[in-house]
Amino acid sequence: MLELKNINIALKKDGRQIVKDFSFSLNGNDKAVIIGEEGNGKSTLLKYIYDPALTEDYCECSGEVIKKGKLAYLPQMIEDKYLSCSLAEFFEFSEYYYHTDILSALGLSVDFILSDQLISTLSGGERVKIQLAKILMESPDVLLLDEPTNDLDIYSLKWLESFIAESPLPVLYISHDETLIEKTANVIVHMEQIYRKTQCRITVSHCSYSDYISYRTESFAHTDQVAQKQRDNYEKQLEKWQRIYNRVSYEQESISRRNPSGGRLLKKKMHSTLSMKKRIEREKDEFLDFSVEEEAILAKFDRNIAVPGSKQVLDLYIDKLQVETHILAENIKLGVTGGEHIGITGRNGAGKSTLLSLIWQELRKRNDITAAYMPQNYYEVLDYNKSPIEYLADIYSAEDVTRARTFMGSMKFIHEEMTGKTGDLSGGQQAKILFLDMILRKADVLILDEPTRNFSPLSCPVIRRSLRDFNGAVISISHDRKYLSEVCDKVFELKNNGLVPVDKNELLN
């Protein structure tokens, strides 16, 4: 259905290669997920497969893409040209009347998609849904999906899981949602940048995600064990050789000149000893390299940060949550004390981000706490025209900026990424800058809108562990079921009648 032959992709701005001599076939029942750390080129590869013209402005590419049938592509972000369109204009040429089942499954109504509501006014999840509905209505033969889970509510995520798993179509997709990957993928395409992003590596495994992670861990451990044993044996042989060499050398120096035959024998013995060392050195050339993997690293929050259990962090009551004249929810009550970790979920368009923004506006003015905010749209707080270093320099002292450089280095930022425009970074890298900002300001209350949405499935466990161990208060919105289950003490669903408690143990089912 789809075949790639000897694909090479390099970035024009710095010549960094993100794909090298990559060949791959997507067959009939394949559900292949592309994983990898932020900024490794996952979206670029998917764009190139769909239409090389989408990458020609910033990449040098070569290779062959053989397509059999019609490809449908869901981009990570809806194109800007559609933001000023109404829903009716967006679906103008779609034969929606034949596909009401798709609309229903995505929670969309015919009245909604034929309305005059502007796409710019939709929530992130609603934008994903309308794009997904539109491409599915086109009856494609192959699906290419770039982060289809971004901003989808849990109900839609579960539908998408079933759709991908049961679809007769081959699907090549990028996702950060571990639960969805675990339940759908039978092929893992892992893109890595190793040796400080000087080399790229792509691994393809025809297995489930959990099997891939287990095999990778065991394989790396075995390789490292063998490599270490080879080196230990080498050191032992070298020590043994050194003892032999020292003895022969001593005997040569001590032998009497009156015993020339003994001298000749020792000369032969020394020659044999030197040959032995050459054999040992040749064995060294055959040593296995230690395994190299791209580590998922996040700077750690200060363990000394804590909020007393008796402290009232938030006591919120909102009679009506509304945008302009549209009422989203009523009778919203939320109390947060001490170091509680609160998770809020709900359907797309329920008003979660609006609610979190109101919470931020209230808490940012407090002098008795230090609150920090990660919005869903990072440009609300980051200046995309400045470099990360310039952004931090505007806020912190020179000493703190020096610390920030060290932190960014440990988080695998290269010099060009620290000093280039923040807007050119991947979403995951921008999220790391926001986390670093929280760490530097020693925030004890974190207000987070989808904190894991731009991190890879390999990084998400690190993010969850860091936030789970954070001793301050966390008030967050998330559709990430593992995040809600592992990080949050309490989970609420925002409904039209307020915040309703959720049994977080049921989230992963």
pLDDT at 500: 95
* 489 close to 342: Cβ distance less than 8 angstroms: yes
Helices (H) and strands (E) in the chain, counts: 16, 17
For the chain, give the number of residues: 509
- Return the amino acid letter for 186: N
Rounded to whole angstroms, how far apart are CA atoms 447 and 441? 14
Residues 6+ apart with CB under 8 A from 274: 245
Residue given tokens 């849904």 in the structure block: 129
Taking the CA atoms of residue 399, residue 429, residue 444 and residue 365 in that order, the dihedral angle to the nearest 10 degrees is 90
pLDDT at 509: 66
* 458 close to 42: Cβ distance less than 8 angstroms: no
* 277 close to 176: Cβ distance less than 8 angstroms: no
Tokens at residue 255, please?
């032998």
Contacts within 8 Å (CB) and 24+ apart, 499-508: 499/332, 499/333, 499/334, 499/344, 502/345, 504/343, 507/154, 507/481, 508/179, 508/481, 508/482
pLDDT digits over 339-364, tens only? 999 999 998 888 999 999 999 999 99
Cα angle 354-358-361, degrees, rounded to a multiple of 5 = 140
Rounded to whole angstroms, how far apart are CA atoms 188 and 204? 6
pLDDT at 289: 67
Tokens at residue 484, please?
């809600």
Closest CA relative to residue 160, chosen from 96, 150, 204: 150
CB atoms closer than 10 angstroms to residue 62: 12
Mean pLDDT by 10 residues, the chain (509 residues): 94 91 95 90 95 94 94 90 94 90 88 94 85 91 91 84 90 93 96 82 94 82 72 83 83 67 75 82 71 62 90 94 87 95 92 94 94 92 91 85 84 86 88 90 95 88 92 95 94 95 78
The CB-side HSE value for 158 (13 A sphere, CA atoms) comes to 9
Residues 6+ apart with CB under 8 A from 509: none
Maximal CA-CA distance, the chain: 113
* Alpha-carbon distances of 414 from 193, 194, 408, 419, rounded to whole Å: 12, 12, 8, 9
